[in-house]
Chains A and B, each alone.
Chain A
Amino acid sequence: MDLLDQLADTFFNWEEMAKVIPALLMVGLPNTLILAIASGILGSLLGLGLAMMGISRNAGARWVARIYTDIFRGLPAILVILVIGIGLSPIAREITGSRNPYPLGILALTLVAAAYIGEIFRSGIQSVEKGQLEASRALGFSYGSSMRLVVVPQGIRRVLPALVNQFISLLKDSSLVFMLGLAASDREIFRIGNDAMANTGNLSPLVAAGVLYLILTVPLTHFVNYIDHRLRTGKPEKKEPDELAAPIGKGAQA
Chain B
Amino acid sequence: MTEFASGTLTGKNLHLSFGHNHVLRGIDLHVEKGTTASVIGPSGSGKSTLLRVMNRLIEPDQGDILLDGRSVLKDNPDELRQRIGMVFQQFNLFPHKTVVDNVSLALRKLRKLPQEQARAEALEQLDLVGLKHKADARPANLSGGQQQRVAIARALAMKPEVMFFDEATSALDPELVKGVLALMTDLAKGGMTMVVVTHEMGFSRNVSDTVTFMDAGVVVESGPPQQIFSEPRTDRLKDFLSDVL
Contacts and interface: CB of A to CB of B under 8 A. Distances in A.
A123 to B, nearest CB: 18
Contacts of A249: 175
B81 A139 contact: yes
B95 A154 contact: yes
Contacts of B109: 141, 145, 149
B179 A139 contact: no
A91 interface: no
Nearest to B175: A249
A138 B86 CA distance: 6
Given A135-B88, A245-B179, A248-B178, A142 B143 contact: no
A77 to B, nearest CB: 33
A140 B81 contact: yes
A239 B143 contact: yes
A157 interface: yes
Contacts of A134: 57, 88, 92
Interface in A150-193: 150, 153-154, 157
A243 B130 CA distance: 9
Contacts, number: 91
A244 B130 contact: yes
A224 B175 CA distance: 40
Contacts of A237: 137-138, 141
Given A154-B95, A239-B143, A244-B145, A140 B88 contact: no
A238 B141 CA distance: 7
A138 B57 contact: yes
A242 interface: yes
A76 interface: no
A242 to B, nearest CB: 4
Contact of A154 (B82, B96, B149): B96
Contacts of B110: 139-141
A248 B146 CA distance: 14
Contact of A139 (B138, B155, B182): B155
A239 to B, nearest CB: 6
Interface in B180-237: 182
B4 interface: no
Interface SS majority for chain A: helix
Interface string A225-254: 000000000100111111111001100100
A27 B142 CA distance: 52
B78 A141 contact: yes
Nearest to A139: B106
A153 B130 contact: no
B141 A242 contact: no
B106 A244 contact: no
A142 B78 CA distance: 6
A137 interface: yes
Nearest to A150: B94
B146 A242 contact: yes
B145 A242 contact: yes
A97 interface: no
Interface in B122-156: 130, 137-138, 140-146, 149, 151, 154-155
A254 to B, nearest CB: 13
A141 to B, nearest CB: 7
B143 A241 contact: yes
Given A241-B143, A242-B179, A245-B145, A141 B94 contact: no
Nearest to B107: A139
Contacts of A129: 90, 92
A131 B158 contact: no
List of 6 A-B pairs having minimum Cβ-Cβ separation, nearest first = A140-B82, A135-B92, A244-B179, A249-B175, A138-B86, A131-B92
Given A129-B90, A141-B110, A248-B178, 9 more contacts: A129-B92, A132-B94, A135-B151, A139-B105, A154-B95, A239-B142, A242-B143, A244-B149, A245-B145
20 contacts: A135-B151, A137-B78, A137-B81, A138-B84, A138-B85, A138-B86, A138-B88, A139-B82, A139-B154, A140-B106, A141-B109, A237-B138, A239-B141, A240-B143, A242-B145, A242-B146, A244-B145, A244-B182, A245-B179, A248-B175
Interface of B: 55, 57, 78-79, 81-82, 84-86, 88, 90, 92-96, 105-106, 109-110, 130, 137-138, 140-146, 149, 151, 154-155, 158, 175-176, 178-179, 182
